[in-house]
Chain A
Amino acid sequence: MSAPNGTRTIRTDYLARVEGEGAMYVRLEGREVADVKLRIYEPPRFFEALLRGRAFTEAPDITARICGICPVAYQVSSVRAMEDACGVTIDEGPIRDLRRLIYCGEWIESHALHVYMLHAPDFLGYAGAVEMAADHREIVEQGLAMKKAGNSLMAAIGGREVHPINLRVGGFYRAPRKAELQALTDPLKRALEIALATVAWTATLSFPDVERDTELVALAEDGHYPIDLGRFVSDRGLDFPPAEFDKHIVEEHVEHSNALHARLRERGSYLTGPLARYSISSGQLWPTAREAAREAGLGEVCRNPFKSIIVRSAELVQACEEALALIDAYEEPDAPAVEVVPRAGVGHGVSEAPRGLCYHRYEIDEQGTILDATIVPPTSQNQLPIEEDLRAVVEDGLDLDDDALKHRCEQAIRNHDPCISCATHFLELTIDRG
């Protein structure tokens, strides 16, 4: 701590329990927050450039490698964009259902990882899940069991948990047999029980009483909680199809980050992810998840980023229950994929990665060669609201000592489950009070 008028720096050079390499830097001058930066230094990997000249059919396998935690998000957004470019629509039917089912698997494994292994240690005061297991082994084992159920679903449909091999433009290479999916029923029923217990348990954690007024943007679709497709909708009246992304959202390049910052044109920053999905579509949750959320004290809208752990848990309930229903209703389709013939054009695809919107746009020629690619991952959209959150957390925590303030700042970042490899780069944390 320093004199009231001095400069104070709080920094974390390598933020733990997030995916990828990032840092945080906060500089205080007296009691004024002079600077807040979420610095992403994950090395650039140039996906948009290296996709040029590749075949349109290669996009799902290549873009999956942007992120080992949410590859299905990249695969689904890319195949939908290519289908859109080629004039093919798969918005219902068995192929859409299978995509939604594997996507449920990704939500389950990714949310279970975040809730139990990355986020819960913040609330219970541990460095990580392994340390937490020394005192709370049962909780960690439950989380691992749920994570395993999600991964098993990914592997049953996709072949493996990380970078599944079965998704293609038009559908799948091979449709799973009914029996392969039915084998997952018992683990998923168990996962559903754990998810319900998790909502109740996370609701007992201690949360700062804060609300953020950032505009919330998520996909929305009548009759469904948003996962694999939908229109862009905000809590303040925006409603537009994926093809109008450029009209409403702009990406900017700033010096301290290897990820581009996205903002709404003439409106500013916006938040995507569980808080946005829940606040816009809580009415679309099935009764089990909706009731669990209500009992946990969540209203129809949640604007407290610290409570995202409860929202993720409610989404786990939804994903488990939907997965069970999709498996129950599953009939092997006549063909695992529809034919998609390339034509010159532009296509857009978007889906809800566990941590937020994942948007792809491709221009292809008549042979299907990719001429241009734009990929907007969730964390580049959430960088600005994360920095705004950091600023608010520091302003509320000026009287905390550096260690406590730093921990609160790190938690504020982890609240959003940033995926920094996705955003292309690493996170480093510094609080400067000089």
Chain B
Amino acid sequence: MARPTLAVWKFSSCDGCQLSLLDCEDELLAVADHVDIAYFIEATSAVMEGPYDVSLVEGSIATPHDAERIQEVRRQSGALITIGACATSGGIQALRNFGDVDEFTKAVYATPDYISTLRTSTPISDHVKVDFELNGCPINKHQLLEVVGALLTNRRPRVRAHSVCVDCKRRGSVCVMVAHGTACLGPVTHAGCGALCPAYDRGCYGCYGPMETPNTASLSRQMAHLGAEEVDLVRVYRTFNAGSAAFREASEAHERA
């Protein structure tokens, strides 16, 4: 039986999520023993023809060309998995969705006419059907291995959608919001990072995006009680997952306030 084929695609991104695959130093060669890495331009110039059993898609759709290219990737793919905040919610570059992209272009480039870009940065699921979304900026490499392993053995990936708070308790970290009055997005943020920031004495900044049923209004009230002003609350929700529905609505509510 032929080995399953894996393809890794890049759209608008920092490359950190696909790098996570190469960061699996202990597992990479073992993975390559069981899977044909058929398309992974950052790692190899060898390219196998599609279709591909599993496609990992990094990055958001931010140019007209990429909006067409993702359609072709979908046609070539069995299962299509988005990896990371850019592919899943539009990434940090989705901050343009709240501004004027012409102004942005003029601010960075002397000759804006040379630049081809869309007015928005959008997640892959706005364009094609996505079979599984892995959150995180960046993703957790152990979750990546879990998802790839699950797909290749036809089972559901074990990736929990509860909040960072749950993992914080499991880790035994002291609550930074209760104990130190530090603003923390942990209560509304998707688990997966291992509850890192509170373990380093800082509040969660939401890089894994919203959890399954986030109560942002309640959290905002608590952060306001701790001294956050409306402008701070807009910023808090408007970072790496600013384009996700829950965080976008929360930031817009504070912008109007």
Please give the residue numbers on chain A whose beta carbons come within 8 Å of chain B beta carbons, in ascending order: 14-21, 42-50, 52, 54-55, 58, 61-62, 65-69, 71, 109, 113, 117, 121, 127-131, 133, 137, 140-141, 144-145, 147-148, 151, 159-163, 165-166, 168, 173-174, 252-255, 258, 260, 336, 410, 421
Check B202–A151 contact: CB distance below 8 A: no
Count of chain B residues with a beta carbon within 8 Å of a chain A beta carbon:
61
Query: Is B200 a contact partner of A159 (Cβ separation < 8 A)?
Result: yes
Closest 5 CB pairs of A and B: A68-B16, A128-B44, A127-B46, A16-B45, A49-B104
**In the complex with contacts A45-B12, A46-B104, A421-B14, A17-B66 CB distance below 8 A:** no
Cβ contacts under 8 Å, A47 to chain B: 92, 108
B117 lies within 8 A of A43 (CB): yes
CB distance from B9 to the nearest CB of A (A): 11
Inter-chain contact A162/B117, CB cutoff 8 Å: no
Asked if B235 and A55 sit within 8 Å, CB to CB, the answer is yes
B96 at the interface (CB under 8 A from A): yes
Give residues of chain B (105-127) contacting chain A, Cβ–Cβ below 8 Å.
105, 107-111, 114-115, 117
- A145's partner among B25, B32, B95, B196 (CB-CB below 8 A) is B25
Provide the bound-state CA to CA distance between A127 and B235, in Å: 44
B200 touches A69 (CB 8 A): no
Residues of B within 8 A of A131 (CB): 44, 46
Q: Can you name 30 A-B residue pairings with CB atoms under 8 Å? A: A18-B42, A43-B62, A45-B62, A45-B93, A46-B96, A46-B107, A48-B107, A49-B99, A54-B235, A62-B92, A65-B137, A68-B13, A109-B23, A129-B43, A130-B28, A131-B44, A133-B29, A133-B32, A144-B28, A148-B25, A151-B23, A159-B197, A160-B196, A162-B23, A173-B201, A174-B200, A174-B202, A253-B114, A255-B114, A258-B114
B138 within 8 A of A: yes
Question: Least Cβ distance of B204 to chain A in Å?
Answer: 9
User: Is B109 a contact partner of A252 (Cβ separation < 8 A)?
Assistant: no
Q: How far is the CA of A319 from the CA of B208 in the complex (A)?
A: 32
Residue ID in chain B nearest A134 by CB atoms: B32
Asked, given contacts A62-B92, A127-B45, A253-B114, whether A44 binds B105 with beta carbons under 8 Å apart, the answer is: yes
Q: How many A-B residue pairs have CB under 8 A?
A: 183
Q: Are B12 and A43 in contact (CB under 8 A)?
A: yes
Q: Is B77 an interface residue (CB 8 A)?
A: no
Note all chain B residues with C-beta closer than 8 A to A121. Answer: 44
- Could you say which of B15, B62, B96 contacts A421, with CB atoms under 8 Å apart? B15
Assess whether A50 is in contact with B197, with CB atoms less than 8 Å apart: no
The answer to whether A421 touches B13 (Cβ under 8 A) is yes
A-chain residues with CB within 8 Å of residue B95 when the two chains form the complex: 50
* Residue interface bits B3-43, CB-to-A below 8 A is 1, else 0: 00000001111111111101101101100100001001111
Closest chain-B Cβ to A52's Cβ sits at a distance in Å of: 7
Partner of A159, one of B22, B137, B199: B199
- In the bound complex, residues from chain B placing their C-beta under 8 Å from that of A137 are 29
What are the residues of chain B within 8 A of A252 when measuring CB–CB? Answer: 110
Given the interface pairs A144-B28, A160-B196, the reply to whether A16 lies near B239 with Cβ below 8 Å is no
The verdict on A52 contacting B107 (CB below 8 Å), with A66-B14, A71-B16 known, is yes
Complex: how many Å from CA A109 to CA B24?
Answer: 12
Residues of A within 8 A of B45 (CB): 16-17, 127-128, 410
- Which residues on the B side are within 8 Å of A20 (C-beta)? 10, 15
| Bound complex: CA A140 to CA B46 (Å) | 17
- On whether the beta carbons of A68 and B19 are closer than 8 Å, the reply is yes
User: Is there an interface contact between B44 and A130, defined as CB atoms closer than 8 Å?
Assistant: yes
Least CB distance from A168 to B in Å reads 8
Residues of chain B within 8 A (CB-CB) of A69 are 15-16, 19
Closest to A20 in B: B15
Contact A50 B16 (CB under 8 A): no
Residue B103 lies at the interface, judged by CB distance under 8 Å to chain A: yes
| Interface flag for B205 (CB, 8 Å) | yes
Min distance, Cβ B45 to any Cβ of chain A, angstroms: 4
CB pair B235–A258 under 8 Å, yes or no, is no
Chain B residues within 8 Å of A127, by CB: 44-46
| Contact B239–A130 (Cβ < 8 Å) | no
Residues of A within 8 A of B92 (CB): 45, 47, 50, 62, 65
